[in-house]
Amino acid sequence: MGVRVAEEWLHSCSGCEIAILNIGEPLIDILGLIDFVHMPVLMDHKYYGQLGDGKKLEIPEAVVGIVSGGVANEEHLEVLEEMRKQCKILIALGTCATHGGLPALINSWGMKAGIENSYATPTTDDCQVPEDIVPTPLDRVYALDEKVKIDIILPGCPPNPRLIAEVITALVEGRDPVIPGKSVCDTCPTKREGKGNVKTVRRFLENADFDPEKPIDDMRCLLEQGLMCMGPVTAAGCSRRGAPSCISARVPCRGCFGPVRKDGNQMLDMMNALASNGIDFKSVVDRRSLLRFSGAHGQLRQLPVPVRKAKEDE
């Protein structure tokens, strides 16, 4: 018998589960050490019994529980609470689970407005928003630790398969997993030439300046090239081939591993980082989207409804 593992996904996209599969061939070895007892993406265990006649949502007991996605409706909450009850160690996998992730961008409007908008698009027939049987939405998107106690956080959008394997293996071996505590910049091999003449940052409308025939450490730091890059304020961990993933595609970082310190604020931290480099932070368009991966924990709040002046209505 291996270590019992249960896996669930909530307000998510399945990218975290694909990242688990992307462990690749070592996954076959890991499968020899663990027993998945519940995992909707790969396995057929049902909440209400295999004949669908149960009255209460049930997930089997497990030593390790893995949950991806944030919490945005009553079913998510019920599943998360059952996972907490049944699992000794609960892991929040992926940035949606740890910080709300991209879907928490809706927190600027609230879940209700987001759902209503979906049923008011030009191709949708006149209708009421569905509310029979489907789970009732919560007011906003929550990270898991806003609802239950979480033992290990493993962010990333997607999380790094190597780190997922490390956490699972460490738990099986009964030791603490080794998870990086640095920033994307700390792990970035691009050339930094010190504070340059960059006074503003620009949108990514033209490609970075680099020689494609030369390795990544020959390219100048994208922030020093004047591109908005969130490396300074983003947790490390995405590197797969010696450089942060987006940088290796010659594209600036957008912060998908969440803040370096778990409770950091990527928007405020980035404003500070720019200011200390003499860069005008007002040149960043759409500053709230610096929180695009970490809008839970009350970081992205509902915008005030714009009050129209009477004149405009006339």
Partner 1 sequence: MMAKVINIQPVTRIEGHARIAIHLDDDGEVKDAFLHIMSLRGFEKFIEGRPAEEVPRIVNRICGICPWMHHLSSNKAVDGCFDVTPTPTGHKLRELCQTMAHINDKILHFFFLAAPDFVLGPDSDFAVRNVIGIVKEAPELAAQVVKMRQLGQMMLERFAGKAIHPIAGVVGGFAKPMTEEERIGLLTDTRTLLDFALFAMDFAKTSVFPKYEETIASLGTITTGFLGTVDDTGALQLYDGHLRLMKADGSITDFPVNQYDQYLSEHVESWTYGKLPYAQCWEEGFSMDLDAPKGIYRANTLARINVSETIATSHAQGELEEFREKFGRPAQGTLLYHWARLIELVYSCERTIELLEQDDITDTDIRAKVEPKAGRGVGSVEAPRGTLIHDYTTDNDGMIVKANMIVGTTHNIAPMNMSVKQAATTLIKGGVYDEGLLNKVEMAVRAYDP
Binding positions for partner 1, 268-297, rule CB under 8 A: 285-286, 289, 292
Reduce the DSSP state of residue 4 to 3 states and report it. strand
- Please report, as residue ranges, which positions from 129 to 158 form the binding site for partner 1 (by CB under 8 A): 130-135, 137, 157-158
- Please report, as residue ranges, which positions from 7 to 66 form the binding site for partner 1 (by CB under 8 A): 9, 11-19, 21-22, 24-25, 27-28, 31, 36, 40-48, 50-54
Binding of partner 1 by 108 (CB under 8 A)? yes
Buried b (16+ CB within 10 A) or exposed e, 267-279: bebbbebbeebeb
In whole angstroms, the minimum distance from the beta carbon of 172 to partner 1 comes to: 16
Residues 6+ apart with CB under 8 A from 126: none
In whole angstroms, the minimum distance from the beta carbon of 53 to partner 1 comes to: 7
Binding of partner 1 by 262 (CB under 8 A)? no
Residue 144, phi then psi, degrees to nearest 5: -60, -40
Q: Report whether the peptide linkage leading into residue 158 is cis, meaning its omega lies within 30 degrees of zero.
A: yes
Q: Are 279 and 198 in contact (CB under 8 A)?
A: yes
Give the per-residue contact string, 199-228, with partner 1 (x = CB under 8 A; - = no).
Answer: ----xxxxxx---xx---------------
The candidate with the shortest Cα–Cα distance to 248, out of 287, 215, 282, is 215
Which of 124/197 has CB closer to partner 1? 124
- Please report, as residue ranges, which positions from 60 to 99 form the binding site for partner 1 (by CB under 8 A): 72-73, 75-76
Q: Which of 63, 170, 179, 251 binds partner 1 (CB under 8 A)?
A: 251
The encoded tokens of residue 59 equal 């997930």
